[in-house]
Amino acid sequence: VSLPSGYDPAKFIMEKKDENIIDLVNSAEPLVDFTLKSILERKDTSTINGKLKTAYDAVNFISDLPSRILQEEYIKKVAQKIDMSEQRLFSYLSDVNKKKREQTLTTIRRKTYPKAEVEFDKTKISPQTSIELEAISIIIQSEGKPREILFELEKDDFKYPPAKEIFTLLKGGLIESYISSI
């Protein structure tokens, strides 16, 4: 609720009748509209820099709205007000939402696994790393020839540190069991 100019809440209540307060509350614009209006009025949107800052603030606010439909409607309104393409604002909204989801997942992981030192991102596994991990998996799950190949490989054949460490442990364990069986 915006009070008339020159009034703070206490002064307004003291000087005006109860009906005025009720009328003011009933005629108040929705909080989202009020906030976006405030964001749009803070910056000079006649300049590119002002438009960018306004778009940044507005989209970050809109991204917190719980409904995609509401987000879409408010993006359209902002695009029209600052004379910027809806497509650009939707693209930025998508980036912001993705970043927030990633931050949420990271926060959940940190709460669930507080001592985890290394974050594992499956999207960043190189083909080489994938092959090394698959080779380790085959060696672990099989008997006979694949396990014999293990004796021919060396630690330096692996570049991915976790694969190298697993290989070293596997080879050490297999050599010990081979020696004890002789």
The verdict on 148 and 95 lying in the same domain is no
Pair 98, 170 in one domain: no
Q: pLDDT by residue (tens digit) across 63-91?
A: 999 889 999 999 999 999 999 999 999 99
- Is residue 1 one of the residues assigned to a domain? no
Q: What is the pLDDT of residue 163?
A: 81
Q: Look up residue 23 and give its two tokens.
A: 């009328």
How far apart are alpha carbons 52 and 49 in whole angstroms? 5
Last residue of a domain, one of 88, 112, 136: 112
Residues with Cβ within 8 Å of residue 36, at least 6 apart in sequence: 58, 61, 62, 74, 77, 78
Whether 160 is covered by a domain: the verdict is: yes
In a domain, residue 137? The reply is yes
Nearest Cα residue to 154 out of 164, 145, 140, 162: 164
User: Where does a domain end: 87, 112, 137?
Assistant: 112
Residues 96 and 18 in one domain: yes
Residue 133: which domain range? 124-181
15 and 74 inside one domain: yes
Do 106 and 130 fall within a single domain?
no
Q: What is the pTM of this model?
A: 0.51
List helix spans (H) across 43-85: 48-62, 68-82
Q: Distance (Å, rounded) from C-alpha 70 to C-alpha 49?
A: 26
Q: Are residues 169 and 95 both part of a single domain?
A: no
CATH of the domain at 43: 1.20.50.20
Q: What is the DSSP letter of 30?
A: P
Between 88 and 177, where is the model more confident?
88
Number of independent structural domains in the chain: 2
Encoded tokens for 137 = 């998996």
Question: How much is the average pLDDT of 18-24?
Answer: 68
Rounded Cα distance between 169 and 167, Å, is 5
Same domain, 108 and 137: no
Greatest CA span in the chain, whole angstroms?
101
Task: Tell me: do 101 and 128 sit in the same domain.
Answer: no
What are the pLDDT digits (tens) for 117-167? 555 565 567 778 888 888 777 777 777 666 666 667 788 888 888 888 888
Q: Which residue has the higher pLDDT, 47 or 4?
A: 47
Cα–Cα distance, 63 to 55 (Å, whole number): 12
Instruction: Look up residue 156 and give its DSSP letter.
Output: G
